Copies of this chain bind each other. A is one copy, B any other.
Amino acid sequence: PKEEFSSLIVNAHETSVGHIYNLDSMGKYAKKHNMFFIVDAISMLVTDPLDMQASNIDVVIASSQKGLALPPGLTMVILSPKAIERLKDVDNLYFDFKDYLQNGERGQTPYTPAVTIMLQLEARLEQIARRGGVEQSIQSAKEIAEYFREAIKPLPLKHYSEYMPNAMTTLTPTDGKSAMEIVNDLEDRYKVMVCPNGGAQRDVIFRVSHMGEMTKEYTDVLIDALFDYYGVKR
């Protein structure tokens, strides 16, 4: 019964298969059932839309790697006013957000963080702002994702998920080739790296990122390599 559950926690983008969830629907469901809505947005940050207010999100978990395209080492948690209110009843040594909020007022953290990556985060956020803000960043990822998906249509590769983010494209070979073999061949023959999958999916999926400093020019290098690999004229 629903009253047993206090929270709904989801990763907005299932990075392993490139599937993005509908946060609006989930937020409506959480609100209807009076559940706390917590979203891990790590791999769709600044490439796909995220609106805490519109989607009734109480907590967003972010981190320096993936979407923000910085080295890993930092986790950021964004709290809604409702979440901050709820903290008042929580007493815990781990993740004592009250302590973080209190220290934040003097520009500090309770424990020593990865300071060098914080400086990189500051530079990255300034870069995004300089280029036109998060909306421009999302638009740019969207354009590159669509450009890539359109360009590779003649090749024997299909989308693995119907609900792909702008962050990346997940592809499955339709000619019986192994996905891992394609990943290795692209690296060996063209010095182009795409992301393999592990475990049961190793032969089924490979992933192409559109995050970070990705441009149409970089994407063309991969598209050209794929066309040459399949012996198809672009």
**B-binding residues in A (CB < 8 A):** 63, 65, 71-73, 94, 112-117
From residue A70, how far is it (CB to closest CB) to chain B in Å?
9
**Nearest 4 CB-CB pairings of A with B:** A73-B114, A71-B116, A72-B112, A73-B73
A113 to B72, CA, bound (A): 6
Chain B residue nearest in CB terms to A93: B94
B residues in contact with A72, CB < 8 Å: 112-116
**Chain A binding surface, main DSSP class:** loop
B residues in contact with A94, CB < 8 Å: 94
A72 to B73, CA, bound (A): 10
B residues in contact with A117, CB < 8 Å: 73, 114, 116
From residue A75, how far is it (CB to closest CB) to chain B in Å?
9
Chain B residue nearest in CB terms to A115: B72
Chain B residue nearest in CB terms to A119: B71
Chain B residue nearest in CB terms to A95: B94
From residue A65, how far is it (CB to closest CB) to chain B in Å?
6
From residue A211, how far is it (CB to closest CB) to chain B in Å?
15
From residue A92, how far is it (CB to closest CB) to chain B in Å?
10
A117 to B112, CA, bound (A): 14
